[in-house]
Amino acid sequence: EIVLTQSPGTLSLSPGEGATLSCRASQRVSGDYLAWYQQRPGQAPRLLIYGASTRATGVPDRFRGSGSGTDFTLSISRLEPEDFGVYYCQQYGGSPLYTFGQGTKLEI
Amino acid sequence: QVHLQESGPGVVKTSETLSLTCNISGDSVNVHHWSWLRQSAGNGLEWIGRLYIGGTTLYNPSLKSRVTMSVDRSQNQLSLRLTSVTAADAARYYCARSGVVTPRGYYYYYHGMDVWGQGTTVSVSS
């Protein structure tokens, strides 16, 4: 099983600042099939990034994914109040087919 | 616009079988792959299994012995059955489109899950 470890556990920032979230895999993520999700309280996860760096439809360009192999990063610039929530990374292709990180809570 | 709606009993007794459905509108079970997932405070987000276009399934090895996913093509509906439930199965259950469909209509089945239902909460009572 590919285990994804996210850091930090919690990030406390102010509007206008930038955020950097990390996701480290226990083994190489094949094809860089790494996705990021945002989850606000009481809502389902929302896909932000797929293929490590491609923004999903409608995602602002303030969100940027990068990385390859075992180390991936989600960067959010110019934080806005609606960016608060929990962010998860997810890999595709191992066994089980999908696994998720434990999440990073972004407090604005 | 694609919309997924999960439904279920809300409460299931220990050792009994959990049955959930997912109604799909704006898309077809015959065109894309679909997944079930769950989220609990203790285990975070967990992928349960995937239903492929052709009807085959792939399950999480940790749940494989207790899970059955199926499709009703006439109703455009997914179903999930989980047998012998315990307190560890209490969670919010989601169905999701497995993969990404771009605005130009390209389907990348090997990427994340781009459409999710709102989920349905399942509690387990003794």
Q: What confidence tens digit (pLDDT) does each residue in B54-113 have?
A: 889 999 999 999 999 999 999 999 999 999 999 999 999 999 999 999 989 899 988 899
CA separation for the pair B23, B29 (Å, rounded): 10
CA separation for the pair B26, B1 (Å, rounded): 5
Mutation site for A-interface testing, chosen from B46, B48, B63, B113 by largest number of A Cβ within 10 Å? B113
Residues of B in contact with A31 (CB under 8 A): 110
Residues of B in contact with A56 (CB under 8 A): 100, 112, 114
CA separation for the pair B122, B124 (Å, rounded): 7
Cα–Cα nearest to A35, from A79, A101, A107 = A101
Please name the residue of chain B whose CA is at the shortest distance from the CA of residue A47: B114
pLDDT of B42 higher than 80 = no
CA separation for the pair A59, A73 (Å, rounded): 16
Average pLDDT over residues A79-83: 94
CA separation for the pair B32, A11 (Å, rounded): 36
CB B71 within 8 A of CB B23: no
CB contact under 8 A, B111 and A92: yes
| Per-residue pLDDT, A61 | 95
Average pLDDT over residues A79-100: 93
CA separation for the pair A102, A23 (Å, rounded): 10
Cα–Cα nearest to A73, from A28, A6, A2 = A6
